[in-house]
Amino acid sequence: MIGFNQPLPEIITFEIRHRKYKDLSCPSKYTDTMDKSGKKDLYEAPDYYLIDDLLSEEHKLIRSAARDWVKKELSPVIEDYAQKAEFPKHLIKGLGEIGAFGPTIPLEYGGAGLDYIAYGILMQELERGDSGIRSTASVQGSLVMYPIYTYGSEEQRRKYLPRLATGEMMGCFGLTEPDHGSNPGGMVTNIKDKGDHYLLNGAKMWISNAPFADIAVVWAKDEAGKIRGLIVERGMEGFTTPETHNKWSLRASATGELVFDQVKVPKENIFPEISGLKGPLGCLNQARYGIAWGALGAAMDCYDTALRYAKERVQFGKPIGAFQLQQKKLAEMITEITKGQLLVWRLGVLKTENRATAEQISMAKRNSVEVALDVARNARQMLGGMGITGEFSVMRHMMNLESVVTYEGTQDIHLLITGMDVTGLNAFK
């Protein structure tokens, strides 16, 4: 057996489109990796409908590398960091190495040049470990790299994307304001044209990665009331990022505010190609897509934990998994997870073909998070008293998902999006 501090066996590397992935898939290598308390990560992903058959060899290799990275690097430390309410910064480099930052961004800008199924798989594996770590990757890839790639100038792309892809530079995304959450169009953060620069004033709230980010993609209204996107760099005078404390959710993800007090932003930092709400909404589509896959990862981890526990925990002389009430819970969990897996796989195909609508993505985000929350709550009960401790990942997932259900559009907002799509009638106002 390999001890926690002993050297690990040699890592085989393989290349997918010039990016080196560490092939850690051999079970003997990392299944013995333990956390400080000597606990092993025994995760086995459920695949009731043989959905693996729908994946390419490349998808499976990427998944295997990400899964093993989570077992080796994330699982042994995540509980400690969540308890301390601290973001494990040392994981950033590894996240870059497994291609978690901007996986669909072309290779020439440092991305992995992968398709959307691969992107979904990466988010699922990360969130199976922890929603907070997936959030960091989602923000970096979908909310920072995506807008720079899609709306940015060639200079902006060359300047920022390669360093964001490796994690050498980290970013955050400022849309939500203290008084404008579900209704971002009401934002009051603003820019004024001062000839050779813009003057930025306002504040953003609930911003993931803000406390340590090197750059912020910020959405603000210009003098004509049009929403514009710009890149604000740490160190610009008047720009501060106070941390938000006392969260019971996403404790291993750093959240903060962005405060802009007469910040002079050079003109070359504005996105030239986009104005209006469609700019930030385009980014949210990308991130929501990743969450649709990711939240199912949290559900899969909770199900796997509950199943194992139900087979081992004995009460009244037999494993609790032999009782009908526990089997009902497990049967419902695996049914909902399987339906969710098929939904996101189909969405991934549509997204790769550039045919997925914002409404389809919205439905999948809402469904996956709802499934994950239900699975996590039931799994927690199945673990009895042990379910409330950090000995198991379940309660951490459950609390994390309370943020995932709120950010990137609440369940209510996503229901309204589907409602408007099918009726043609706007119920937002």
Ligand X SMILES: Cc1cc2nc3c(=O)[nH]c(=O)nc-3n(C[C@H](O)[C@H](O)[C@H](O)COP(=O)(O)OP(=O)(O)OC[C@H]3O[C@@H](n4cnc5c(N)ncnc54)[C@H](O)[C@@H]3O)c2cc1C
Active site residues: 408
Q: For the CB of residue 194, give the shortest distance to ligand X in the complex, in Å.
A: 25
Q: For the CB of residue 43, give the shortest distance to ligand X in the complex, in Å.
A: 24
341 binds ligand X (CB under 6 A): no
DSSP 262-329: EEEEEGGGB-TT--STHHHHHHHHHHHHHHHHHHHHHHHHHHHHHHHHHHH-EETTEEGGGSHHHHHH
Residue facing ligand X at closest CB distance:
181
Whole-number Å distance between alpha carbons of 260 and 231: 13
Q: For the CB of residue 375, give the shortest distance to ligand X in the complex, in Å.
A: 20
Residues in contact with 221: Cβ distance below 8 Å, sequence separation at least 6, in sequence order: 187, 188, 189, 190, 191, 227, 228
Binding residue for ligand X, selected from 109, 116, 151, 173, defined by CB under 6 A: 173
Counting DSSP H helices and E strands in the chain, the numbers are 13, 11
255 binds ligand X (CB under 6 A): yes
**Which residue's CB is nearer to ligand X, number 43 or number 101?**
101
99 binds ligand X (CB under 6 A): no
Q: For the CB of residue 277, give the shortest distance to ligand X in the complex, in Å.
A: 13
Q: For the CB of residue 46, give the shortest distance to ligand X in the complex, in Å.
A: 27
167 binds ligand X (CB under 6 A): no
**Which residue's CB is nearer to ligand X, number 21 or number 146?**
146
174 binds ligand X (CB under 6 A): yes
**Which residue's CB is nearer to ligand X, number 100 or number 337?**
100
428 binds ligand X (CB under 6 A): yes
250 binds ligand X (CB under 6 A): yes
286 binds ligand X (CB under 6 A): no
Residues in contact with 195: Cβ distance below 8 Å, sequence separation at least 6, in sequence order: none
Closest CA to 162 of 208, 106, 223: 106
Whole-number Å distance between alpha carbons of 259 and 239: 6
Angle (CA) 392-394-399 rounded to 5° is 125
238 by Cβ neighbours in 10 Å (0-12 / 13-18 / 19+) ranks as: middle
Binding residue for ligand X, selected from 181, 211, 390, 419, defined by CB under 6 A: 181
Q: For the CB of residue 143, give the shortest distance to ligand X in the complex, in Å.
A: 7
Q: Which of residues 69-88 bind ligand X (CB under 6 A)?
A: none
Binding residue for ligand X, selected from 208, 241, 326, 360, defined by CB under 6 A: 208
182 binds ligand X (CB under 6 A): yes
Q: For the CB of residue 147, give the shortest distance to ligand X in the complex, in Å.
A: 12
206 binds ligand X (CB under 6 A): yes
> Near ligand X by CB under 6 A, which window of 15-23, 111-119, 176-184, 330-338?
176-184
**Which residue's CB is nearer to ligand X, number 48 or number 428?**
428
**Which residue's CB is nearer to ligand X, number 56 or number 83?**
83
Whole-number Å distance between alpha carbons of 102 and 167: 10
Buried b (16+ CB within 10 A) or exposed e, 273-286: ebbeeebbbbbbbb
Binding residue for ligand X, selected from 139, 200, 254, 372, defined by CB under 6 A: 139
15 by Cβ neighbours in 10 Å (0-12 / 13-18 / 19+) ranks as: exposed
Q: Count residues binding ligand X (CB under 6 A).
A: 22
176 binds ligand X (CB under 6 A): yes
Contact predicate 49/5, CB 8 Å: no
Whole-number Å distance between alpha carbons of 75 and 222: 45
Q: For the CB of residue 173, give the shortest distance to ligand X in the complex, in Å.
A: 5
Amino acid at 256: G
**Which residue's CB is nearer to ligand X, number 113 or number 174?**
174
The binding track of 372-411 with respect to ligand X, each residue x by CB under 6 A or -, is: -------------------------------x--xxx-x-
Contact predicate 51/341, CB 8 Å: yes
Whole-number Å distance between alpha carbons of 261 and 48: 54
The footprint of ligand X (CB under 6 A) covers 139, 172-176, 181-182, 206-208, 250, 255, 403, 406-408, 410, 412-413, 416, 428
